[in-house]
Amino acid sequence: MLRIGVIGCGTIGTSICKAIDDGIIKAELVAIYDRNKDDVDRLLSTLKISNPQIIEPATMIKQIDLLVECASQKAVYEVIPAALLAHCDVMVMSVGAFADEKLRKTIENLAIDNNCKVYLPSGAIVGLDGIKSASVEDIYSVTLTTQKPPRGLAGAPFIIRNKIELDKITSKTILFEGSASEAVKAFPANVNVAATLSLAGLGFEKTKVRIVANPALTRNIHEISVEGAFGEFTTRVENVPSPTNPKSSYLASLSAIATLKKISNPFQTGT
C-alpha cells in the first residue's frame, strides 16, 4: 500500500488526510507535519482510523513513498528537492513556486536523476487536457480571469503593498492585470491555478492573468480563454469556496484527492 506523508495541515491537507482515513484514497497515512500545532491538532481530531506520526520533513521523507505538499511556496523550496534526493515521489499544491525557473529546472532534473515523479493536480480549474493537446501545435494566447469576493483576497502581498481596502469595494473591480509570473508573486495564496495553467501551455511570461474583486459573488470564478492553431475555447468554473478557507476553492481539494486516487489505484481510466 502506498505510504503517504502530508506537509501542511490546513484546508487541503486536512481534506486529503480525511479522504485517506475514509478509504477514498487507498493508501496509508504515515506522517503529517505543520509548524502550526493548532492545525495539526485539529487535523488529528478529524481522523477515526489513521494514526499518523508527527514528523519533521527531513525524517518523514525517509519513511514514505509519496510526499504531499500543502503548505506554501516556501515549503516547495525547502522540502521538495530533499524528498526527490531521498527517492520519494512528490505531489505539489503550491504550484506558484514554479514561477521560479531555476527551482523548476532543479526539481525537474532531480526527478529525472532519481527516477521520481512530480504530480501537479489541476486545482480549481478545468480544461488542462485541452491546453496540453493544443500545445502540440502553436498556442497564440492564454488568458485567465479570476473573480473572487473581496475577502478571499485578504492578505495577498499585492493588496498589502498597494494598501487596498477590500471592505470598501462595492462593485466589480479589476485589481490586477499582468503575466502569470507576476500574478503568482502578487497573490501567492489565490492563483496557483495561474501557475498550473502556465506549465500546461505558454509558460509564465506569456500567460495573461486578470484578478477581479467582485462583492456580488459568493463563489470563486475562473475563466480561461485559449486561442491557437486548433481554434479557440473558453472554460468557466464557478467554485464554491472552501468552508474553512475563503481563499481556496473547494475544487482544489477535490483535485488533490482525485490525483491521489489515481496514483494509488492500479486500475486506471482515461489518461
Q: DSSP letter string over 178-210?
A: EEHHHHHHHSTTT-HHHHHHHHHTT-TTTEEEE
Nearest partner of 9 among 47, 48, 30, 35, judged by Cα? 35
C-alpha 95/C-alpha 192 separation (Å) is 5
Vertex 148, ends 169 and 68: CA angle to 5°? 140
Cα separation, 152 vs 18, whole angstroms: 24
- The size of the chain, in residues, is 271
pLDDT at 107: 98
At residue 267, the pLDDT reads 61
What percent of the chain lies above the pLDDT cut of 70? 97
Rounded to whole angstroms, how far apart are CA atoms 118 and 92? 7
Domain ranges in the chain with CATH number 3.40.50.720? 2-120+251-264
- The three cell numbers of residue 128 are 488542462
State pLDDT tens for residues 16-69. Answer: 999 999 999 999 999 999 999 999 999 999 999 999 999 999 999 999 999 999
For residues 209 and 227, give the distance between their C-alpha atoms in angstroms, rounded to a whole number: 15
Where in the chain are all domains bearing CATH 3.30.360.10? 128-239
- Which is higher by pLDDT, 241 or 110? 110
The third-level CATH classification (topology) of the domain covering 2-120+251-264 is Rossmann fold (3.40.50)
The pLDDT of residue 270 is 47
**CA quadruple 238, 243, 249, 252: dihedral, nearest 10:** -120
By the 8 A CB rule, do 197 and 142 touch? yes
User: Residue 151 is inside which H or E element, if any?
Assistant: none
Which fold would CATH assign to domain 128-239? Dihydrodipicolinate Reductase; domain 2 (3.30.360)
Average pLDDT on 90-97 reads 95
Residue 271 has pLDDT above 60, yes or no: no
Give the pLDDT confidence of 129-161 residue by residue, as tens digits. Answer: 999 999 999 999 999 999 999 998 999 999 999
Burial readout 214-228 (b: 16 or more C-beta within 10 A, e: otherwise): beebebbbbbbebbb
State the cell numbers at 197. 495553467
Residue 243 has pLDDT above 90, yes or no: no
Please name which of 225, 20, 251, 8 lies closest in space to residue 122, comparing C-alpha atoms.
251
**Confidence at residue 96, expressed as pLDDT on a 0 to 100 scale:** 92
pLDDT score of 260 more than 80: yes
Task: List 239's β-bridge partners, or say none.
Answer: 220
The verdict on whether 87 is a catalytic residue reads no
Q: Does residue 241 sit in helix, strand or coil?
A: strand
* Distance in angstroms (rounded) separating the CA atoms of residues 71 and 120: 14
173-188 pLDDT tens trace: 999 999 999 999 999 8
- Which pLDDT band, with edges at 50, 70 and 90, does 265 fall under? confident
pLDDT average, residue stretch 75-103 = 96
Q: What is the model's pTM?
A: 0.90
Residue range 213-229: average pLDDT? 95
Q: What is the pLDDT of residues 101-137, one digit of tens each?
A: 999 999 999 999 999 999 999 999 999 999 999 999 9
Answer whether 107's CB lies under 8 Å from 118's CB.
yes
Residues 79, 222, 247, 256: which is the catalytic one? 222
Assign 189 a pLDDT band (cuts: 50, 70, 90).
confident
